[in-house]
Structure 1
Amino acid sequence: MDVVSDAISAVRIGRPSSNRVRVSGSWSTELAPYDGAGFHVVLRGACRLLAEDGTTLTLSAGDAVLLPHGAGHVLADAEADEAALGRAVPFEHWLTGSAPPPDRSGAREVELLCGKYRLDRSRVHPLMAELPQVVHLPTRVGSHPELRAAIDLLGRELGEQRPGACSAVPSLLDLLLVYMIRSWLAGSAGGAWPGVLTDPVAAAALRALHSEPAAPWTNDRLAAEVGVSRATLARRFTTLVGRPPMGYLTWWRLTFAATLLRDTQDPLAAIARRVGYGTPYALSHAFGREFGTTPGRYRAASGQAGQG
């Protein structure tokens, strides 16, 4: 596994949900804060997004927006004034059909793909935590080709309702999340993690730790794997990642164990072996220090949350 995939899998729970919405004329709708990540893709037309942190965006066809921390926001037609924004109706009304009907003339028609990813906030990887409140990925010729392709495929699946769409759409939505985060990493001018993943020393060390978390890593062994001195590894890794290599490894092993407890029925002994602990007792002791609960109670609570 790589760092981005692991960071996403650690927090993703359940299946993403999405709705294709077609509106026209004057409209505005409000989406409440959500314990997950929201996204919008403009399939046709233009609209505005106003986030609770004050971010205001004008979105055009092909634009994608990710709200990775579930921030509340308003969507409105591109020409909405303050009065129209003040009359924003809850988004759920659009889904139940109780919102005002679209303008029959089709004026300023907008087609949107709106959706949510369910996330477990108890173990957020620092890469995910660093994402801004609003990630705007505007459509530009030649930019983010994979993201553009995923958006096109989603539009076709949702528009044509072909056989197998019920399987294809959730998979494409998962792919969309990966591509949105990847596109942000490639284009971000700030933040630590875009730099971490392009630094040859830190990135190589992270790849090694994530590929084999159960290996008997030491600072010397990891430095030899990366091809630098122990002092260089410690300095570069700690400066960029924010904690020393073995400290990060311990945190990731326990985070990975929590993911396995949530997503599998593997016995604790098997999980302990997969994450580098010699015995279930050793894992339970370390897990309790990190999460303040036992693995068994954590698994039970995660199962109940996953059913919600």
Structure 2
Amino acid sequence: MDVLADVVSAMRTGPATSGRTDIRAPWGLRFTQAAGATFHLVLQGSSWLLLPDGSAPVAMGPGDAVLLPRGLEHSLVDHPESPVVEFDPSVEVYEQGSGARSLLLCGTYLLDRDRPHPMLSKLPEVMHLPADPGRHRTLHTAIGILGEELDANRPGAAAVVPALVDALLVLILRAWLEDRSCPTESGWSRALTDSAVARSLELIHAEPGATWTVADLASDVGLSRAAFARRFTEAVGEPPLTYLSRWRMTTAARLLRDHDRPLATVAKEIGYTSEFAFAKAFKRDFGIAPGAYRKQLAVSGT
């Protein structure tokens, strides 16, 4: 079980949206708060990312990627002093200036923001991954291919681009976590690289409905109960069974969203012996009964 891929899959609530933006200096684009995670790739040229809180501008060059996990309002500009206009995703070529050209790919990943996974909720507001030739080759190769496909507009690009955009979310998250991997610090970068913690997460994600105990998980990863519980809690930020309960509810929400299985079947898949017990636990976590939650999603179209 690939825990990172499983978390991203569970948190996504719809397809990514993205658009090519071809623009010449001087230029500035303002992006409003998004209902998901906003991303930008600088395929050609350069850009500055500005935040409304007045924090230091982030300089971006060719091949750079930036992800704003909570869709924070921001601006992209060719220079921090350039005037800005509202970004319009339907506009591919802006006629703001006649100077140096920049080619951008801007988009949004729809994510469950009501009950985010702790891996995502603890990310910073802005994640900037510069185009370092010595690191994250897969990510930067994908960005390079995207740039070629969007600039050349060759046959098949309409199939290639969406697939690469979908993959980018995992590639950006993986690169960010790898850069911060440290065995002595807490956090999900450690959780995914600590062999014992990572293995226990794989077990939980592979079989969320199993009757796991702390002793079972500890035995499976070759640690004492106390040592395992301590390592897991330090890395993940909560005890093993608390995380198990969280993941069961996250899995239930995904099943309700993506499938039409009976509630009793969903309850059994995530480890509940009765539909009533499952419904009570789900309502405690989500504030709504599972049947009503499914109907709500159907009405909203998510």
TM-score (norm 2): 0.92
Give the secondary-structure state (helix, strand or coil) at the position aligned to 1:169: helix
When structure 1 is superposed on structure 2, of 192-201 and 292-301 the one drifting more is 192-201
Residue 200 (structure 2) pairs with residue 194 (structure 1): no
Distance 2:238 2:91 in 1: 48
CA shift in 2, pair 1:43/1:286, >3 Å: same
Gaps of 5+ in 1: none
Residue 200 of structure 1: how far off its partner (Å): 2.4
Shift of 1:164: 3.7
Alignment partners' CA distance in 1, 2:69 and 2:290: 27
1:70 is aligned to 71
1:200-243 CA distances to partner (integer Å, 9 max, x unpaired)?
A: 22222111111111112112211111111111111221232222
Contact 1:262 1:299 in 2 (8 A): yes
How far did residue 6 of structure 1 move?
2.2
Which position in structure 2 is the counterpart of 1:56? Answer: 57
Q: Secondary structure at the match of 1:123?
A: coil
**Which residue of structure 2 aligns with residue 285 of structure 1?**
280
The counterpart of 2:267, out of the listed 267, 272, 275, is 272
Structure 1's 7 and 109: CA in aligned 2 closer, same or farther, altered over 3 A? same
Amino acid at match of 1:119: L
Residue 214 of structure 1 contacts residue 276 of structure 1 at CA under 8 Å; is this kept in 2? yes
Q: Name the structure 2 match of 1:213.
A: 208
Structure 1 residues 109, 97: closer, same or farther in 2, change over 3 A?
closer
| Greater share of residues in helix | 1
Residues 52 and 71, structure 1, Cα contact 8 Å, conserved in 2: no
Q: State the distance in 2 between where 1:75 and 1:235 align.
A: 43
- 1:241-285 Cα deviation digits (max 9, x unpaired): 222211211111011101111111222122122211222222112
- Whole-Å separation in 1 of the counterparts to 2:14 and 2:51: 25
Task: Tell me if the contact between 2:22 and 2:93 (Cα under 8 Å) persists in the aligned partners.
Answer: no
CA distance in 2, matches of 1:140, 1:56: 19
The answer to whether the 8 A contact 2:57-2:80 is kept is no
Is 1:146 the counterpart of 2:138? The answer is yes
Q: Which residue type is aligned with residue 89 of structure 1?
A: V
CA contact (8 A) 1:15 1:117 kept: yes
Aligned to 1:243: 238
State the AA in 1 paired with 2:134: G
Shift of 1:10: 2.1
Secondary structure of 2:48's counterpart equals strand
2:45 match: 45
Q: Give the CA deviation at 1:113.
A: 0.8
Between the aligned partners of 2:92 and 2:164, the Cα distance in structure 1 is 26
CA pair 66-228 structure 1, distance change in 2 beyond 3 A: same
Q: Show the counterpart of 1:300.
A: 295
Read off the aligned partner of 2:32 and give its amino acid letter.
Answer: A
Q: Secondary structure at the match of 2:90?
A: helix
Task: Give secondary structure in 1 for the equivalent of 2:38.
Answer: strand
1:26 CA drift (Å): 0.8
Counterpart pick for 1:158 among 144, 150, 165: 150
CA contact under 8 A between 1:30 and 1:75: conserved in structure 2? yes
Secondary structure at 2:114 match in 1: helix
Structure 2 CA distance for partners of 1:242 and 1:140, relative to 1, 3 Å: closer
Q: Choose 203-212 or 126-135, whichever is displaced more.
A: 203-212
Paired residue secondary structure (2:238): coil
CA distance 1:160–1:304, shift in 2 (3 Å): farther
Q: CA deviation at 1:98?
A: 9.7
Which contiguous aligned blocks of 4+ residues in structure 1 show a shift greater than 6 angstroms? Answer: none
Name the counterpart of 1:230.
Answer: 225
Q: When the two structures are aligned, how many residues end up with a matched partner?
A: 298
- The percentage of counterpart residues that share the same residue type is 44
CA distance in 2, matches of 1:55, 1:223: 45
The gaps in structure 2 that reach 5 residues or longer are none
Aligned to 1:176: 168
Distance of 2:61 and 2:93 partners within structure 1? 26
Preserved CA contact (<8 Å) 2:27 2:96: no
